[in-house]
Amino acid sequence: MPAATPATSADEARVTSVRVDDEGIHAATDAEVVLDVLFDERRIWSFHLPRDGEEQGDGYVVPWPSALRRFLNGHTHLQVAEHVAQRVVYDEEVHLGEQPPTGEDRIAVVNEHGLPLGIDKSLRLAQTFDTRSAEHVAPLLDSIQEVLGALKRAGVDAFPVYGTLLGAVRGGRLIGHDSDADLGYVSRHTHPVDVVRESFDLQRALSEAGYVISRYSGAAFKVDVTEGDGSIRGLDVFGGFLRDGWLHLMGEIRTPFREDWIFPLGTTTLEGRTLPAPANTDEFLVATYGPTWLVPDPAYVFETPDSTHRRLNGWFRGTRIKRAEWDAKYAAPRHAEADLEPSDFAHWVRRRNGSVPERVVDLGCGRGADALWFARAGATVKGLDYSPRGSYAVAAIAADEGLPLELRTMNLLELRSVLAEGALEAHAPGPKVVTARHLADATNRVGRDNLWRLASMMLRAGGRFYLEFLVDKGDDAFARKNHLRTLRPSSVEAELGSHGATVLTCKMNSEADTGRRTCRMVVAWEQPGQR
């Protein structure tokens, strides 16, 4: 099949042979085109054809996004329309899913509170702005202005960036298919180290002002905003700087740029509110989205050069290695029964300890099944993990049952996080059990060094460190699905020894059906006065 060429205007795209089934959207086209999918006249998802499709016969099939599939069981009035030209190319009442049609069940893409959801540009379900009323987005707009003011008081002149700036300049409104708000600033510093220091200063200033902050990288963080209906929406703050005639802005941008295209800041209007903006918004949006930024594209994908990724990763992103992969893993729907089953490792820890420990710290707790099991058995438990998404269900269960289980976010690649959590736990009285199942093999050498440091701090009052890691991957996909590497027990023991630890037990386990081998260790640190 010859490749479709990009259309230079909406009228040049011709979409034919459209049909819909449980596999996805099937269609043919002679030019690249953005299509909207509507359920009962509400936009749910947008995509490029053929960019996002797979060749099939004389056309393409675009599979349903995985995040959407759990909703696809029932009836809906389904329309497919060209986004720019607003031409409807498919308009039918359809039934999707394995259950036989009843004529009654309508497909409802909503969250647990019944609020409408859509697929955002990252193929994740979100409450997009086209589902929100002016009353509900007003707190977000308030917060944009508040955070811009707080950043200015902290020493930087910030402004809306990415989709937020695009919506303001292109139409004075939040973009309907967008789901978050983005702010940015261009530092007066020119060295990445100084940019990182400044970003942490800004985070501290906003935290002291009462905002809840989570950090993305050395130069970007998110501010959580509570909207009128109780929904939490993230407001991203991206740091940037100019160096040798190039603009670097966290996220996606590295491009030749002039300082007078940014400073002094001008203004733009968003939903009737006057906000700061780069001096030359056209040049800034060309740098962000290319020369076609005026053409709406709800399925836009940043095509960032590898050279830009390498620079921004090297300067700022060392603390977020594989965070997106872990978030995606935990975002996938799972069966609750399987989630709550404790691992064989947890049973082994309890047997080795001789009884239920009084206090357990589960490092890399994942979905929290082991932590929940220990808490139900009577232990006071703290679970720490890189990605908080996996343990949401267990946190709700623990709260309902009144269990002594605390779940927190902790990043082994961020020394601040390691030292803070280590110090907090070091002050908890009495000996404890610290566990780390498939954590040492899920991080790099920096992460492992911080893991050994963290465990030693937590065990200052005595106790044992139990860990399990992969030695041989075996024949199944376990290692790939869990982002694991293999480690040699002798190397792990040497690393622990360099941190003052003694390996008390080293036990190999093999699985005959997969060929996978793991190693389990019991580790201790000598306490003062024990010599």
Which of 113-122, 218-227, 407-416, 483-492 reaches the highest mean pLDDT?
483-492
Q: What is the DSSP letter of 462?
A: -
Q: What is the mean pLDDT of the segment spanning 139-160?
A: 91
Residue 498 has which token pair? 């360099």
pLDDT for 339: 62
* 338 has pLDDT over 70: no
pLDDT confidence of residue 2: 41
Q: What is the pLDDT of residues 273-317, one digit of tens each?
A: 999 999 999 999 999 999 989 988 888 888 888 889 888 888 888
Q: What would the mean pLDDT of 42-50 be, rounded to a whole number?
A: 93
Order of strands across the sheet that contains 54-56: 15-20, 24-29, 59-63, 54-56
Q: What is the pLDDT of residue 169?
A: 96
Residue 333: band (very low, low, confident or very high) from pLDDT cuts 50, 70, 90: low
Q: Which residues of 279-296 are buried (b: 16+ CB within 10 A; e: fewer)?
A: ebbebbbebbbeeebeeb
Q: Backbone phi, then psi, for 188, in 5-degree steps?
A: -80, -10
Q: Count CB-CB contacts under 10 A for residue 151.
A: 21
> What CATH fold (topology level) applies to the domain 324-525?
Rossmann fold (3.40.50)
Band (pLDDT 50/70/90 cuts) for residue 102 is low
| Listed residue (284, 293, 239, 291) closest to 257, CA to CA | 284
Looking at residue 10, its pLDDT comes to 43
CA angle 426, 432, 437 (to 5 degrees): 100
Instruction: Report pLDDT for 281.
Output: 97
Least confident of 214-223, 318-327, 408-417, 497-506: 318-327
* 3-state SS string for 328-363: HHHHCCCCHHHHCCCCHHHHHHHHHHCCCCCEEEEE
Q: What percent of the chain has pLDDT over 70?
A: 93
Fold for the domain defined by 129-320: Beta Polymerase; domain 2 (3.30.460)
Q: Taking residues 492-520, what's their average pLDDT?
A: 94
The pLDDT value given to residue 113 = 81
pTM of the model: 0.67
Query: Would strands 463-472 and 432-437 be described as parallel, antiparallel, or unpaired?
Result: parallel
> Tell me: the pLDDT tens digits for 441-475?
999 999 999 999 999 999 988 999 999 999 999 88
**In 3-state terms, what secondary structure has residue 156?**
coil
Q: What is the pLDDT of residue 3?
A: 45
CA angle 380, 385, 203 (to 5 degrees): 110
**In which element (H, E) is residue 458 found?**
helix 445-458
pLDDT (average), residues 360-368 = 95
Per-residue confidence (pLDDT) for residue 100, from 0 to 100: 63
Question: Where are the domains positioned within the chain?
Answer: 5-109, 129-320, 324-525
| pLDDT at site 140 | 84
Q: Could you tell me if 509 and 348 are in contact, meaning their C-beta atoms sit under 8 angstroms apart?
A: no
> 370: which 2 tokens?
């082991």
Fold agreement (129-320, 324-525)? no
Structure token digits, residue 226: 């509570």
